[in-house]
């Protein structure tokens, strides 16, 4: 009888530890939110691509409570002269909104604006000649606007 009781208590304790451990792991996941956010807001193409993949699978990131909302390029055209800047603007909004929510916007604004400019230049890299020049000039204008008014 004592042996069955001890076995039952051991099993119950292990189950409780397993459940508590799983809860702790789930609660600990968002502790790396600043690192995840930083990895998605760098100037590199790999950072951009990782953010695009995460955005396409937002449900996997629910525990992080990221703000995915966007107004794209605000009051500026999302696709000026046919250049598809909307994804770049959405990633820029993502960085701004989430760093503001963490209270670390000021320390990251310059990098976010630089990442935006790099994203726009990657869009422009798909063009050549005068079209590329026009795109690059438009990208520069958008970048200067966010630096000054963003």
Residue 115 lies in a domain: yes
Owner of token pair 């209270």 = 103
Catalytic one among 2, 48, 92, 117?
Answer: 92
Residue 131: which CATH number? 1.20.90.10
Number of domains in the chain: 1
**Domain-located, residue 88:** yes
Tell me how far apart the alpha carbons of residues 89 and 73 are, in angstroms, rounded to a whole number.
5
The predicted pLDDT at position 27 comes to: 52
User: Could you tell me the two tokens for 82?
Assistant: 């046919």
Q: Is a pLDDT exceeding 90 seen at residue 119?
A: yes
Residue 95 belongs to a domain? yes
- Could you tell me which of 96, 15, 87, 18 has the C-alpha nearest to residue 54? 87
* Contact present, 119 and 86 (Cβ < 8 Å): no
Query: What residues make up the domain containing 45?
Result: 32-149
Over residues 123-150, mean pLDDT? 97
- In angstroms, the CA 72 to CA 78 distance is 6
- Could you tell me which of 143, 149, 148 has the C-alpha nearest to residue 43? 143
Nearest Cα neighbor of 86 from 98, 74, 68, 100 is 74
* Residue closest to 56 by CA, chosen among 100, 87, 21: 87
Q: Extract the tokens encoding 56.
A: 């396409």
Q: Is 117 a catalytic residue?
A: no
Decide if pLDDT at 2 tops 50.
no
Quick: pLDDT tens for 64-108: 999 999 999 999 999 999 999 999 999 999 999 999 999 999 999
Residue-averaged pLDDT of the chain: 86
Residues 56-66: tens digit of each pLDDT: 999 999 999 99
pLDDT at 30: 85
Domain contains 25:
no
């Amino acid at each position: 009888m004592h042996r069955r009781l001890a076995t039952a208590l051991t099993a119950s304790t292990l189950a409780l530890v397993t459940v508590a451990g799983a809860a702790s792991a789930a609660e600990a996941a968002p502790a790396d939110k600043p690192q995840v956010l930083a990895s998605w807001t760098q100037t590199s193409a790999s950072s951009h691509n990782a953010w695009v993949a995460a955005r396409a699978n937002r449900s996997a990131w629910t525990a992080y409570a990221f703000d995915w909302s966007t107004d794209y390029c605000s009051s500026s055209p999302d696709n000026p002269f046919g250049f598809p800047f909307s994804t770049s603007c959405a990633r820029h909004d993502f960085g701004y909104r989430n760093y503001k929510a963490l209270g670390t916007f000021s320390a990251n604004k310059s990098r976010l604006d630089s990442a935006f400019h790099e994203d726009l230049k990657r869009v422009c890299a798909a063009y050549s000649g005068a079209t590329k020049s026009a795109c690059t000039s438009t990208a520069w204008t958008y970048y200067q606007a966010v630096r000054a008014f963003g």
